[in-house]
Amino acid sequence: MYKTVFVKPGNKGWGVGLKLTPTDKKNKVVSVTGGGIHPVAQQIADLTGGIACDGFKNAIPEDEMLCAIIDCGGTARIGVYPMKRIPTVDVLSSSPSGPLSKHITEDIFVSGVRPEDVSQIEDANLEDQQIAAINHAHAEDAESAAATEKMLAEGRETEEEFRERYSKIKEEHQEEQAKKDSFLVRFSRGIGGVMSTFYQSGRDALDMLLKNIIPFMAFISMIVGIINYTGIGDWLANVLSPLAGSLPGMIILALICSIPILSPILGPGAVISQVIGVLIGTQIANGSIPVQYALPALFAINAHVGCDFIPVGLSLGEAKPETVAIGVPAILYGRMLTGFTAVILAWLASFGMY
């Protein structure tokens, strides 16, 4: 009798998609968007054989709702229908938020949906099309629907007559809907969409700040505190600084600083780079180290820079756990290979510079 549709999340939408199949009782597609029936609601009703209803003008019993179409950016309405376990389709690209966010789950909610994101799972046959047409006609014109159903039941209407009647009823409905869809309604929807986009962007930024950036800053602060308090950084710097007096020594220095086990520890606060940089700069100023070693020394003491940020950077890029597990060691080893290579290239580039 009815058809099944799949509603997938749209561009930047949330959720995995909903599969909707009407029944004789639960066949109302309720549009709670203002300005009449939203195109997404009409599309779902057309493809399933359900009845599209304006939720602002009609009181639809909850046990008759196939789904609810909303345009909420993330306050109260976004969670009202999911709380009642009514499949909810948000035409805005919203994610779970608000006081009822705990009720918004992937099995009951999808967002960012456009009419083209609704697709029929099975092909419709003539009988199903006739029944769907009767349901639509009943929603718009009860008398015409009853007459159409009676004529079909008695077999006095041919397929061509039925299609012509159904096409006429649908055109009348579209004309009526176009009158409702005034400039003010379109303007209001546009403003709502813009505000929702900014609101969702702010929420995403704050969520990223709380989940990724602030914990990373706390971790870095702890590591820097440990290094400064224990004096490990100064000790390592004093041990490694003599290596900066020759090209082989700087290559060894770059290799040591970029060892995958050490580089994430040496990176925070750039303690090693700062201390060794000051010591080398002083020696160059005194004439103890030739000035042409300044450029290769710069690359030698920075071979570990950024190695502590790799897992956080991948996390900010929303990399999958498998990508992080493989990508972190790959980048660390790659940094080790390119670190001493950069020292050699810098040494070659320093010829004739001073």
Backbone angles phi, psi at 60, to 5 degrees: -100, 125
* 309 half-sphere exposure, CB direction, 13 A CA radius: 12
Q: How far apart are CA 204 and CA 201, in angstroms?
A: 5
Q: In the chain, where does DSSP find H-type helix?
A: 39-48, 77-83, 126-140, 142-154, 159-180, 183-208, 214-230, 232-240, 247-257, 263-266, 271-286, 294-300, 310-316, 321-349
Q: Check 53, 72, 257, 307 and give the catalytic one.
A: 72
Structural element, H or E, at residue 209: none
- Residue 278, CA distances (Å) to 178, 248, 271, 275 in order: 74, 20, 11, 5
**Active site includes 72?**
yes
Cβ burial 99-126 (10 Å sphere, 16+ → b, else e) = ebeebbeeebbbbbbebebbeeeeebee
Contacts of 56 (CB under 8 A, 6+ apart): 32, 34
Any idea which residues carry the catalytic annotation?
72
